[in-house]
Amino acid sequence: MKFYTFYSIYYRHKIKKAKLILKIYIIIILPFSYLLNLFFFPSVTNLDKINHIKFKNKSLDYLLEYFGSDKAKEVFDQYPKPIQRKKIKIKGHGYSKFYEKYFIEFKDIECNILELGSFSGNASAAFYFFLKKSNIYSGDIHPDIFRYKSNRIKNFFIDCGSEDSIKKNIINQETCYDLIIDDASHNLKHQIIALFMSFKKLKSKGVYVVEELDFPDTRDDMKEGYSGPSLKIILNKIRLNEKFESIYISKEDKDYFLKNYSSIEIFTGNRGNEIVFIRKK
């Protein structure tokens, strides 16, 4: 993990809210905190060298919990600084049962997965073993924290809040995807532009997923500085065949989505947060 990534994940929000004296204190201790945590950063694991028999016939929830993804019913908390992490399980989102429902058709075929917001790669590792013939494209604004490697995994930089970054890393690439999963920033604008821009890169019968769909409607920090409606409101209007407008959606992308989506299903996870699965025609 690079120094800037460490600062961005663990301290930037604190400095933003802190008063002057506290800001100065944080800036002073930040390099020392980084150096201490360096000893606790997990090493990179080559998934190709793990005995696959170990995970044969395991459920997706088992794999997500094993590798530490909060998509599982229970999980070790991966979000504190490495030096502060404890081997205590917390309640996960429990999205695994919904994912398994949609993933089962891709389990034994070669497929391409695009994961936006891969963080340290725990979900990518679980998908690697559950979807045994998958090629996984794991993008994040901080790709240096990704802790897995494989001939079937490509880790890369993407900023889901930047239309230029989405164009460069998704739209202008040759690869099309069977599954696209947005588990990135969860804020209002990012969810909208990621879906409506990337939907054309989803294959026919493919599935687009947005986690924490409800965040812009329930958390002020996820809609601060942005204009509504949220993606949840937009999708519900589409389901009801009602008109909607958003400054973040071009007419071309809007028309394409409305013409090519097949179904929209919204589920609630264990923490009360929502996840949506959008099927393409």
Q: What is d(CA 86, CA 96) in angstroms, rounded to the nearest whole number?
A: 23
Q: Read off the amino acid at residue 18.
A: A
pLDDT of 225 reads: 85
User: For the chain, first and last CA: distance in Å?
Assistant: 40
Determine the pLDDT at residue 85.
87
pLDDT reported for residue 86: 85
Determine the residue type at 178: D
Mind listing the domains of the chain with CATH numbers? 3-38 (no CATH), 45-280 (3.40.50.150)
pLDDT of residue 224: 83
- CA atoms of 71 and 123, how far apart (whole Å): 8
pLDDT for position 13? 86
Contact 228, 212 (CB under 8 A): no
Segments of the chain with pLDDT less than 70: none
Could you count the other beta carbons within 10 Å of the beta carbon of residue 31? 12
User: What per-residue confidence (pLDDT) applies to 64?
Assistant: 97
**Model confidence pTM above 0.85:** yes
Rounded to whole angstroms, the Cα distance separating 141 from 139 reads 7
Q: What is the pLDDT of residue 129?
A: 97
Strand locations in 10-87 (E): 45-46, 74-76
Residue-level pLDDT at 232: 98
Provide the pLDDT for residue 227. 87
